[in-house]
Amino acid sequence: MGYNIGLILVAVLSTSTCSILAIAYSWKLGLVVVFADLPPLVTAGYLKIRFDAKLDLEVSKRYSASASIASEAITAICTVSSLTIEGSVIDKYSKELDQAVASSQKPLLRMMVCFAFD
């Protein structure tokens, strides 16, 4: 948590310092930058952080299902090998991973759009 708060503090201080310097250097251009350009940038950064946190939570849930399949197969490796069902276990694991990747593409696209504006 210390790193995250430090990162937020650095971002706020550098943004406010740059805004003050822009207004001091050329007040007309500085006001345009502060009031026209800064709000969309801050909004895009905020949305990117929110989408990233949501995506991280969703991805961890999706990959935990595939990890449980792998863990179960490894725990019962003697049963899996004696029944020669390695192929079906691998297929089940692959399908679960493919589902996780496919369901992550749309949220990743939204996050990349916000990242492009940031």
Which segments of the chain have a pLDDT < 50? none
pLDDT of residue 25: 92
Q: CA 95, CA 43: separation in Å to the nearest integer?
A: 37
pLDDT of residue 24: 92
Parent domain of 23: 2-117
Torsion sign (Cα): 78, 80, 86, 90: negative
pLDDT of residue 84: 79
**Total domains, the chain:** 1
CA 96 to chain centre: 20
Q: What is the pTM of this model?
A: 0.63
